[in-house]
Amino acid sequence: MTQDVEMKELPAPSNSASSSPPSTLHHLKEIASLIETGAYAREVRRIVRVVRLTMALRRKLNAQVLSAFLGFAVAPGSELHSRLSSYLPKDNVHDMDVDTATSTTQTPGKHSLPELEIYCYLLILIFLIDQKRYNEAKACASASIARLKNLNRRTVDVLASRLYFYYSLCYELTGDLAEIRGNLLALHRIATLRHDELGQETLLNLLLRNYLHYNLFDQAEKLRSKAPRFEAHSNQQFCRYLFYLGKIRTIQLEYTDAKESLLQAARKAPVAALGFRVQCNKWAIIVRLLLGEIPERTVFMQKGMEKALRPYFELTNAVRIGDLELFRNVAEKFSSTFNSDRTHNLIVRLRHNVIRTGLRNISISYSRISLADVAKKLRLDSANPIADAESIVSKAIRDGAIDATIDHANGWMVSKETGDIYSTNEPQFAFNSRIAFCLNMHNEAVRALRFPPNSHKEKEGAEKRRERQQQEQELAKHIAEEDDDEF
């Protein structure tokens, strides 16, 4: 009896191990049938579901499963099958020959849909990028893009937008983004002519990323301003667009618009997109510092972001204190981080804000102080610190940052007595900005509401109409009798 029990238990692990690859293959076959249904019924929502299901299977893809699926989806021996199979690594593919043969004998030449062909390209491209086979991925992506140019079907648009993204990604990973800029512009023109709005969104973001990668901010702004705009179809693409727009506005010194775009991108981004939200917060922190604001501590304490935002927390602390020496030390300490984030040039701009903050603290603390002491407290390390301090104080007085005067004869800065802020218009401006924000949020919420069709046109039945008319006649008769009684 014990031997029988052991004989029953021994094959169990091997069965589970052998059933795992067919399980992934089975899911891919179901996705293929879903593509067929969506293509024949012309339902784009089914193709959207295909992309979502594929992303869930991404980690389970391997060469064996993909080879078996190609044998199922594409006619063996055809030019397309040989081209797609050439991108797969040759090792361990022969282990799945039996499964491939059985799948092809079940449905010989059944699938010839362009949607399924593009889906096979997408699967192989994702697999090659995950395996870090970037040269093969570039060849596969170029072949898929050449095929896409000859297809004008709305059910292909969703798969095409994903192919555009991975096409740009594999060239970015190899440092060859500039090579495909002209091709991306041509694809954007084709998508515009075909009214492929999702493709236009994706390609516009890829072009903006391409320009910003090489610091071509003027070209990026020209493209963004002249590209057609419409209602966003993808939340992810809209978030990317807001992020790129915020970066362009920041470089162009339009900090208020940049702050709004970056914060909106961080709020709309999915919770799972942690890296994207970290980048949005880094740029938003710098923009708020350039505007003279100090971000709240909770911004740096968000879950999963504490370590990534630590350099920006110390930088914010230096700006808040107005200590130029501390600011310089922080900039040198995390220079590699700021260079990798491409925010180093913006941090150089912050030096003026640090000096202005320190000068404001000095103006509040002292009613009269010599310019030499101002230079010493600001830790100015120039050849003539007193002259520099005088020019800095003069500019701050002119810009309205401090309320003071300069006594040039004695070399003093004389601060005026601080008045009551509630006697100025500052509270009114603060309340006005908050009210405008709340009204804007309310309007966006109202626009996002969905109502059932014809809910405001409830049709009244004949019986209800007769009952209502009878009640109105009785009421009118009753009122007339009351009027007669009064007279």
Which of these three, 151, 185, 213, is where a domain ends? Answer: 213
Copy the structure tokens of residue 135.
């040269």
Helices (H) and strands (E) in the chain, counts: 24, 3
CATH of the domain at 396: 1.10.10
- Domain for residue 76, yes or no? yes
Q: How many CA atoms lie within 13 A of 303 on its CB side?
A: 3
- Domain for residue 163, yes or no? yes
- pTM here is 0.73
- Domain for residue 383, yes or no? yes
Q: 40: Cβ–Cβ under 8 A, 6 or more apart, which residues?
A: none
Look at residue 207 in the predicted model and tell me its pLDDT. 92
**3-class secondary structure per residue, 234-252:** CHHHHHHHHHHHHHHHHHC
Look at residue 69 in the predicted model and tell me its pLDDT. 81
Look at residue 479 in the predicted model and tell me its pLDDT. 62
Low-confidence stretches of the chain (pLDDT < 70) are: 1-22, 91-112, 230-232, 383, 399-401, 403, 417-420, 450-461, 478-487
Which helix (DSSP H) or strand (DSSP E) does residue 130 occupy?
helix 114-130
Look at residue 10 in the predicted model and tell me its pLDDT. 40
- Domain for residue 146, yes or no? yes
Q: 266: Cβ–Cβ under 8 A, 6 or more apart, which residues?
A: 277, 280, 281, 284
Q: In a 10 Å sphere around its CB, with 0-12 CB exposed, 13-18 middle and 19+ buried, how is residue 354 labelled?
A: buried
Which of these three, 213, 234, 257, is where a domain ends? Answer: 213
- Domain for residue 55, yes or no? yes
Task: Report how many domains make up the chain.
Answer: 2
- Domain for residue 291, yes or no? no
Question: What CA–CA distance (Å, rounded) separates 96 from 230?
Answer: 47
Look at residue 467 in the predicted model and tell me its pLDDT. 81
Which of these three, 401, 422, 443, is where a domain ends? Answer: 422
Question: What CA–CA distance (Å, rounded) separates 205 from 198?
Answer: 11
Look at residue 414 in the predicted model and tell me its pLDDT. 75
Domain extent at residue 395? 368-422
- Domain for residue 480, yes or no? no
Look at residue 82 in the predicted model and tell me its pLDDT. 82
Q: Which residue has the tokens 């090659």?
A: 128
- Domain for residue 134, yes or no? yes
